[in-house]
Structure 1
Amino acid sequence: MKNSLRVSVVSAAFAFCVSPAFAAAKITPSCTVIGPTSVVVEDCTGFFDGNLINHSPADDAAQAASVLALGGGVWNEVWVEKKNFSNTSTITFDTKMVGETIIGFHMGGGKDYNQSTAFYRFDAGAGLYSITTNAVGLSDAAIYMTTPVPEPETYAMLVMGLGLLAITRRRKT
């Protein structure tokens, strides 16, 4: 009996620590109500009370837990890109989102879900820069994970390497 109680207490403590809600109160309804409309959302966590897209230690822990819950691995407190907006419903990044992508956004000035944050995972396909949402009053957004797009220099090095390989094969024959 004592061992099962001990296991229950340890399990409950672990669940509490890895849950994104341990640092921020989760509010209802589900984050699927107000989310990206220009992509098919695969999963989401939120809405959480307050702006979690900042660098306070408690909010970093909540962001990390949310990214982990969405299958993005452990967030190392470095965004791919973070943007500040002024009361918009479209999120436009400078970074091209490709393939599996995780973003978070905060609504700071909207009438619905004011001062709350949600996180989303979706497939950005071949690439896009903007996401349109049902949200009113977006004020912060961040890309936490996206498939990296090779730089033009990478393609140039690949072509040069293949060229050198072709030259060396010709010399051997």
Structure 2
Amino acid sequence: MLCIGFSSCSNENDEFVQDNKEMNTRSVKAIHTFPNVSRIKTDPDVVKKMNEAWEEMKNYAAKGKRREYGFYIYYDESSDKIHCGKMQMGDNIPNCEGTHASIELKPDYPALEFQNTVCAHFHCHTTLQYCPSYVSRETGPSIGDINFANSQQLPGILYDYEDAKIYGGDSKDKKYKMQTFGEYAQRPDRIY
């Protein structure tokens, strides 16, 4: 004889009620914690890929063209490893009007796939070496960069020039720095 019972999980105490008898159970919740940006930005694979993006940006730049490069950074909690997504590039900026370029990152994996969960994003800003000297821009994360990081609840990492402002004709090989930005130094925990 086969008996099938239906239960309801409506008690706040996580107890099942079946046929007027109580059956105590425990609910199990998983908390997935992500690495802090201080760990992410020093991970050797991440540093290598950020440097590659910076070099790609400089190598692409020429008279009448420049673009940003970047990628998502992923975390695999089961192996405690951080890895980089595919290098992505922004649209070509064909001239020096509107000195800010942009990049729209697209995830490499399904956003909720546990084994490869986005934990941060990186991009680099462009040189103005091939622009006229009257063109300039402030360095550092833009309002759009910050808004994106905050809306995604992810830390942002940026390579940009060390000076507070750069000008057309400044060497693309000037010193640069890494900055983190956004309200989140760590992706919030996920509770499943």
Relative to the length of structure 1, the TM-score reads 0.28
Higher relative contact order (CA 8 A, sep 6+): 1
Q: Which has the higher helix share?
A: 1
Relative to the length of structure 2, the TM-score reads 0.26
Q: Which has the higher strand share?
A: 1
